[in-house]
Structure 1
Amino acid sequence: MASVSEFFVCWGIIPAVGLGYSGYSTKKNSLASFYLALLAVICCSVQWYVVGYSLAYSDGNGFIGGLTYAFHRHVLSEPVGTIPAILFSEFQLIFCAAVAAIAVGGACERGRLLPLVPFLFLWSTFVYCPLAHMVWSDNGFFSRMGVLDYAGGTPVHICSGATATALSVYLSHPLFRSRLSKTRTPSHMKLHLPQNTMSQLLALITIWGAWLAFDAGTTMSLNFKSVMAMCVTNTCAAMGALTYIGINYYETGRFSLDSTFLGAISGLVMITPSAGFIGMGTAALFGVVGALVTHQALRIKMTRFALAIRWVDNGDSFATHCIGGFIGTICTGLFASKEVAAYDGTTDIRGGVFFDGNILQVGIQVLEAVIGFTWTFSVSYLLYATIDCIPGLEVLAPDK
């Protein structure tokens, strides 16, 4: 029952992401920005049932699964960990749909909704599923290499941030039908503050609470390790929020809901790859580091260089998820602890640099992050550009 409850709680992350993007967007675009999250869960649910789960979690090879579980054949009550296989599949679907909801934020306020339907099907098949298989499947390339990625530093955060960046870059410099259209003029969208702070507040409360269940549920059982994963997640998010609040108060002399939102999210991003491998003290440090790095990364979109290349990141996906995912993945290699990982009584890792002297782990983490970003950005960009070639599926919205 605990795992079923976690599924329902975690499902709320997806509409909450849409609510967050809605709060970031201008008033006239707020509903369309929210609708992106609905498209994500609808398209990913169908794709996951047909082929997604099989590609991510059946044997296959080191890079992609096979079709053993296509249409969820043989995915019934056999246990995965301590839960039925069908529940494991649905829990993993939440990962896929949540990543997709964050990723398509790169199209907020400028991209059309219709082209995102085929994009989501193709993206989940050719981008997310291979990454999930390589990291989390027993015979995955990164898994066999010994990568430490508890709940998705690369498959979740780097993947979503890189995809959002690819979509944003293409919308600023379309190559095909969108560029040739007389009614579609790619222009740099002016930077603006979030338009609806209540949407941000509701999104923050929902995402923060659901992420506790997200990380705790990744153990696939109720034990001391799942309890610790929940506790370190909350601590990291709180320290991230407090650090960001402090920075903003020092700079402006006032409190800011937007800063609180970004700080907590930066903490949740930092802890995702490491929640099952670090203790409370390290989690507090991660929260501070995540907030400091994200705060600096957000300045990129305000530079003259960003203006010159028509850089748009109003949802802050690149700074928060992509950069934060990189730092979190690398820090996991530095601070992972064999002792903490073994709290479930079964997990045995080589640990990281500082607690277990495993210097090689950092190299493995960096390799995962770099390959993950390169694959995600390249394939996402190619898929979006290909869809733009199809009549009626121009990706850039008309000027009006």
Structure 2
Amino acid sequence: METKTKWFFTLLTLIALAVLGFFMPSTPFGEIQGVNPGDLAWMLTSTALVLLMTPGLSFFYGGMVNPKNIISTILQSFVAMGIVSLLWVLVGFSLAFGDSIGGAHTGLIGNPATFFMLNNVTAGINKDLAPTIPLALFAIFQMKFAIITPALITGSFAGRVRFRAYILFIILFVLFVYTPIAHQTWHPNGLLRNMGVLDFAGGTVVHMTAGFAALAGAIFLGKRNDYDLPERRANIPFVLLGAGLLWFGWFGFNAGSALAANAQAIAAFLNTNTAAAAAMLAYIFTDGAKGQKPSGIGAAVGLVVGLVAITPSAGYVTVGESILIGVIAGIVCNFAVSFRTKTSIDDTLDVFPAHGMGGVVGMILTGVFAKDVGLTSGNLKTFVVHMVALVVVATYSFGMSYLLYWLTNKIVPMRVSTHSEEVGLDLSQHHETYGFAYKD
């Protein structure tokens, strides 16, 4: 009965939001002057590609967990599309890309009133944010980045988190971790951006924040009860399918971040594919050099690591440099995964070694290779700034996320009961099962 009451009040909150939306003034869509039709078509396509990444992630993660948790793991990614979409419309876009609170000189976080409920977003173009496409399209494109970031975190605590607590956590994460880092990195007045930090498509904003939040979550929630037992994978073909969908969608993620159908988008597209290929091979060849057999899991994780590492520099490096970035990331993250298994940290699907470390590698190498401003161009400043920003973002993402886990846990206990964990979250949290997963 208590749970029914809590869900009832959650439903009332959603209804209140719907009523608020009905009474909010809005600007109707119409013909917008100054739009480039080619850029418009490419960005519509890119936005759809980026959304596809989240279902891809759900298969990627779902295939790697114990069969008794496959539905819950997939659902955690799917529900992020619903929660974050509405949160982004309400206040998320405004916090990330609205006018800086305290004036342009601060650059810490956006004013929630600037684009509250996307007010004034449909009116036209914002030359500072996206000069050749409607601001509404830019807002939707950025929404997809905000959706996948908390979904990435779910792999770290798969198999032991309460669904209601997860929903509350991702709301807090988007408000207090994702949007401030997005504003600081991507807004024209952003603090990190004005320092000289380069993040073409989200290596810092998406993957480092998610990676360090995942590490905090794995530590906070502790080990699974069956952590020391042999791992049971639900469906390796799901993993490969998910990785393929991620690879496909990542072209919108990276090449779309040029915000135009131009030469930089082509470079980002080429570099994205090349780095993914190089990292996949480096990862499985490293496994072989360590005496392990090349595996489907290794190939899938390797290509994702390459996609992560090239993300911050995709539009700033040459194709040759993208090969090097992919190879370095594949080797580094392979050893990071191996090292994690020797610790007491139960990061279920190695989110931190893959996304956290992949983001770190990408951020460092962006400072090395970025055209005209990297170390290879004789410029030390960008590299130093990236090292400083790396420490700041890592510390903030980990520390604030840990605080949010603690706060969430005070409101809704985050970890399920021992019995619920033993029977699996599919059954205990959602009353569903995956095929004959429980029949030995």
So what's the TM-score if we normalise by structure 1? 0.89
Instruction: Please tell me whether residue 71 in structure 1 is matched to residue 93 in structure 2.
Output: no
CA, structure 1 residues 268+193, in 2 after alignment: closer, same or farther (shift >3 Å)? farther
Structure 1 equivalent of residue 204 of structure 2: 154
Unpaired runs of 5+ residues, structure 1, are 174-185, 339-350
- Whether 1:15 and 2:55 are equivalent positions in the alignment is yes
Aligned mates of 1:388, 1:54 — CA distance in 2: 27
Alpha-carbon distance between aligned partners in 2 of 1:316 and 1:240, rounded to the nearest angstrom? 16
Match of 1:266 among 305, 310, 316: 305
User: How far did residue 301 of structure 1 move?
Assistant: 2.2
Give the AA of the match of 2:143.
Answer: L
Q: Would you say the 8 A contact 1:153–1:329 is kept in 2? A: yes
Kindly indicate whether residue 385 of structure 2 is the aligned counterpart of residue 364 of structure 1. yes
Alignment of 1:229-378 (within 5 A): 229-252=268-291, 254-303=293-342, 306-307=343-344, 311-338=345-372, 351-354=373-376, 356-378=377-399
Percent of matched pairs sharing the same residue: 32
Deviations 1:289-339 (A, max 9, x none): 000100110012221xx13xxx1112110101111111110110011113x
Aligned-pair Cα RMSD in Å:
1.5
In structure 1, distance between residues paired with 2:386 and 2:318? 19
Q: Where do 4+ consecutive residues of structure 1 move more than 6 Å? A: none
Return the alpha-carbon distance in structure 1 between the equivalents of residues 232 and 291 of structure 2: 15
Q: Which residue of 2 aligns with 1:48?
A: 88
Shift of 1:193: 5.7
Whichever of the two has the greater Rg, that structure is 2
In structure 2, the CA distance between the partners of 1:158 and 1:253, relative to structure 1 (3 Å rule), is: closer
2:227 counterpart (173, 189, 193): 189
Taking the aligned partners of 1:260 and 1:81, their CA distance within structure 2 comes to: 39
Structure 1 residue 187, shift from structure 2 partner: 4.2
1:255 is displaced (CA, Å) by 3.3
Q: CA deviation at 1:250?
A: 3.6
SS in 1 for 2:418: coil
Relative distance call for 1:253 and 1:56 in structure 2 (3 A) is: closer
Picking from 205, 216, 219, the partner of 1:166 is 216
Residue number among 406, 409, 414 corresponding to 1:385 in the alignment: 406
Q: Tell me which amino acid in the other structure corresponds to 2:414.
A: V
Question: 1:204-256 CA distances to partner (integer Å, 9 max, x unpaired)?
Answer: 11000110121110011101110110000100000001111222234447431
Q: Give 1:107 deviation, angstroms.
A: 2.2
Q: Tell me how far apart the structure 2 counterparts of residues 166 and 399 of structure 1 sit (CA, whole Å).
A: 21
State the distance in 2 between where 1:146 and 1:51 align: 27
Letter matched to residue 281 of structure 1? G
Distance 2:132 2:63 in 1: 39
Alignment match, 2:417: 398
Q: Does the 8 Å contact 2:67/2:233 carry over to 1?
A: no
Q: TM-score, normalised by structure 2?
A: 0.81
Give the count of matched residue pairs: 368
The answer for unaligned runs of 5 or more in structure 2 is 1-40, 101-105, 420-440
Residues 77-226 of structure 1 aligned to structure 2 (within 5 Å): 77-79=123-125, 80-172=130-222, 187=225, 189-190=227-228, 192=231, 194-226=233-265
Q: Is the 8 A contact 1:172 1:187 kept in 2?
A: no
How far apart are the structure 1 equivalents of 2:186 and 2:347?
A: 30
Residue 345 of structure 1 corresponds to: none
Contact 1:333/1:352 (<8 A) preserved: yes
